[in-house]
Structure 1
């Protein structure tokens, strides 16, 4: 007879299930609208069923504090997934920087995965980033991260909020995200800045030439050539982005666990 059939084990299983389900609500790749909701719920259920036999829940006491443990599990899952989503948003921010220089900033597209508007170049880079994540089995590392979260944040412990270390950690994560976004965008933005300087010189040297008509197609052409040339550099930066994402998730879990 499986332990899960025992009514006493259902509250413990529910604690595990809500953390995993909340984790998949905000996590990149797993939280997208293109993934059906029954798949997310079913995957969370069976993953929680597997993790139930590996989590030490002997100290769980079903009393008036159980509802707060349930809320804590939801909060932990949401915040760990959200910090990963914030770090991965560096790709979209870099695309916004590039589109502003290219002249594509007015032509944002609706992202069917998140339901929000995103820059054209950012969406192009984002698809490359997700394909790279899947090609190196990064989604396995993400699932392994939620599994290892029980080693850092015990199921029967609450999150310590004695000082501002968690707020400082989130601010540092934001700084890293903007730094990576700047590193991704600077080759294209730098080249377009040089194109703007060249067009300014041409406008002064040849006043008869309408640089506004020539400049926009020229900047788009230069942008495509530079993106093609720096694509290998972009893959290297995306690799560092994912390493930063996993390190940030681990650091946040350590703070939640009181380390």
Structure 2
């Protein structure tokens, strides 16, 4: 019979807190469409597999109530910070779809996206679903789990948060926002040219109803350019998703 000390049980709960906080920010494994019981069960399973049992002696002293509460909050911050990298990654692609939808007229219709927990346009959800499909194809979920195991080496349990850097978080956010804009740039540039052409048409032929003419024209142009540019933006999108795991570790100072 395997005996577990109070200290080992406490550290296991701390590790579980970190894992569940990360899974809560991963739409593929822990999104709102996944039942809470399944997420908790998956968190317990992953924690059991990656928990560093050998680093905690059975005769180690147990933490008192206040230090244990502080340690739980610390692990929650670590898990949410690591999950922020995933939020920013999928959020950049969501922003790309939102930017395209705003210029093409698709933003007029909003739909609930259960995977992200908010509403968005059709193109917004298209980019998110495409990103999740690619994420699973390239085994991104397995790479995130491997990076999750490495977080216990970068920031061991019940340790200081001095390696967390606000500057790194802001830098990562800026880079991902720029990537999202770059993905949307070809389509948005074509829509801008369409707007300029419609503006010139309105000046030269005022009797033409530019608004009614421009809406289907911009939708068609947006979809056409999106289909043509997708082959060129796909490698960058794959690279963006492949770096989700290393990006987690960088946010934690690894």
Q: Report the equivalent of 2:222.
A: 223
Distance 2:222 2:108 in 1: 16
**1:199-218 pair list within 5 angstroms:** 199-218=198-217
Distance between the aligned counterparts of 2:251 and 2:24, measured in 1?
18
CA drift of 1:56 comes to 1.8
* Correspondence 1:231-246 to 2 at 5 A: 231-246=230-245
Q: Aligned ranges for residues 7-26 of structure 1 at < 5 Å? A: 7-26=6-25
- 1:103-157 per-position Cα deviation (integer Å, ceiling 9, x unaligned): 1222121112233112221110110010000001110001111111011001131
C-alpha separation between the residues in 2 aligned to 1:96 and 1:158? Answer: 38
2:193 matched residue in structure 1: 194
Deviation readout 1:56-96 (Å, 9 max, x if unpaired): 23496423323222221121112211232123200111111
In 2, Cα distance between the equivalents of 1:26 and 1:60? 33
- Structure 1, unaligned stretches of length 5 or more? none
* Residues 60, 216 of structure 1: alpha-carbon distance in 2 compared, 3 angstrom cutoff: farther
**Secondary structure, counterpart of 1:154 in structure 2:** coil
SS in 2 for 1:155: coil
Secondary structure of 1:113's aligned partner: coil
Aligned partners of 2:138 and 2:242 also within 8 Å: no
Aligned positions of 1:75-224 closer than 5 A: 75-160=77-162, 166-224=165-223
225-234 or 122-131, which moves further after superposition?
225-234
- Which secondary structure state, in structure 2, belongs to the residue aligned with residue 251 of structure 1? helix
**What is the match of residue 62 of structure 2?**
62
Distance between the aligned counterparts of 1:143 and 1:192, measured in 2? 40
Give the SS at the match of 2:115.
coil
Q: Which runs of 5+ in 2 are unaligned?
A: none
- The separation in 2 between residues aligned to 1:94 and 1:3, in whole angstroms, is 52
